[in-house]
Structure 1
Amino acid sequence: MKTAVMTSSYAGDFDRCALLCESMDRFMRGNWRHHILVERNDVALFRKLEGPNRRVVSEAELFPAWLRSIPDPFSLGRRRVWLSPFSAPLRGWHAQQLRRLAMARYVEADTLLSIDSDVVLVRPFDPASLWDGHRLRMFRADNGAIHATPGHLEWLAHAGAILGLPQRPDPAHDYISNMVAWRVDTARALLDHIETRTGKSWIRAVISSRAISECMIYGRYVDEILDGAGHYPDDRSLSHVIWFKETYPQTPEGLDQFMAELRPDHIAVGVQSFVGHPLSDIRRAAFSVTPG
């Protein structure tokens, strides 16, 4: 199985992305190629991470000409905002999700594996292990959106609107994780479905609301339109994650406590960028794990 790994990143996460790349080069197995998806102005910086199995993809290769970023005047130019004639202004996290969806028509592979910049692999991992015959493992927390942050239900509703499904599914599954695998053929069929149903390009349909979750869109398409064909759900995340800074003390001891809870089936850890652990401590903790 050929895997296209995609990491949508930006300059502020460059050091974290570099650590991810180091961990992938150490632990990733099988037939894979890593694509780092960035805004036009960040291409030169991220080129430093390119290698035989890794390349940087500018969003200029993925987005139509009418969707471009400019410096955000409300942040004194520290951030960027994406403008189009078909939507309200979009933020960086919207653009990152659009890049991942666009990759379905950009690569030739069996699997698209999205890995966030703040993930670090800690054990050997071959993405081909996510396949069971002709079915791909899909992360799904059954009815998980009900107990998650309020945004989850909004993301499910927008997915339903562009897919032609009820806004509020029952049960309301959660498909969001920082390591998510998609079938390339299914992701392409998803974009085709959106365009056929809405009569417009998939990207125009997706940005009709800012309540965007590419994981929710893909998950609902698989479960409610394909009836799960080609996939098998699994509620186990591939990575052990600190989602909120309140979960563990932001100290070396707190990080050690987090690492002690690593399960044998976790092949990576993720520490959200707003959680106050120095990258050097994360690197030390991650690379001290005994490979399973």
Structure 2
Amino acid sequence: MKPSHSLNLPQRDHEDLHDLMSRLRRAGEPFSLATVVRTISVTAAKAGAKAVIRADGSIAGGWIGGGCARGAVLKASREALADGETRLISIQPEDLLKDRGVSAGEEKDGIRFASNMCPSQGTMDIFVEPVLPRPSLVILGASPVAIALADLGPRVGFDVTVCAPSEDQEAFAAANERIEGYALPVEATAHRYLVVATQGRGDQAALKAAVSVGAEHVAFVGSHRKAESLRAKLLTEGIDPAALDRVKAPAGLDLGAITPEEIALSILAEILRIRRKDQRGTNETVYV
């Protein structure tokens, strides 16, 4: 039977979903977008139908059909948000799966198959796309290297948060978020990479704040000897040695950098290598 390609969604629904996704993006909330890309025979939803799915598995808006598709799509959404990869789900009747030589839950040629147990016995192919908050570059300090990092970070896909004394805040007018002092939130909605770039002004307080929160990477702009001296002081304050072991010092790849801009570039190169380590060869994740 000829596949159906009818959008079957009024324009208003599309506009409402766009508004919803914009709100979730602004809130830094991860979600996935499920889109019906093909249907064969009788199905409740038709090609073009969409749904926005939150990380907790709830459907925030839109519609892609009833229980025949829901379980497989929600599972794919959870997996996509966990690893940042897209999924293509094909929901088919049992007899068609047998004809293809595949079983429900099996993945073949990039397609995850699921069984349609509904009376309609139609086929639906659904593309599930994770939409994740942009990774965060958190800069502690207002040194020339910190200023260069804040300038370069957005160009390679990072939202920038700057933690600095109130008198230095004007140097970071373009930052996505500014925090006076070093009061970092313990939890973060996106992956964050911390760089202590105080360079002699509040080193100990900034490093203590950096190792007290969760992060993908913590780096210190300064020599290994200076970092070890600060480590010894923080140990006397009761800081967990394992937390201090996470600190990379000196920050950045060894590129022979001299100027603040070159040092900032070496730091971002190191962070990008860490961030992309497990993403090569995978489908590209959408960041918002």
Q: What TM-score, normalized to structure 1?
A: 0.22
Query: Highest CA radius of gyration, 1 or 2?
Result: 2
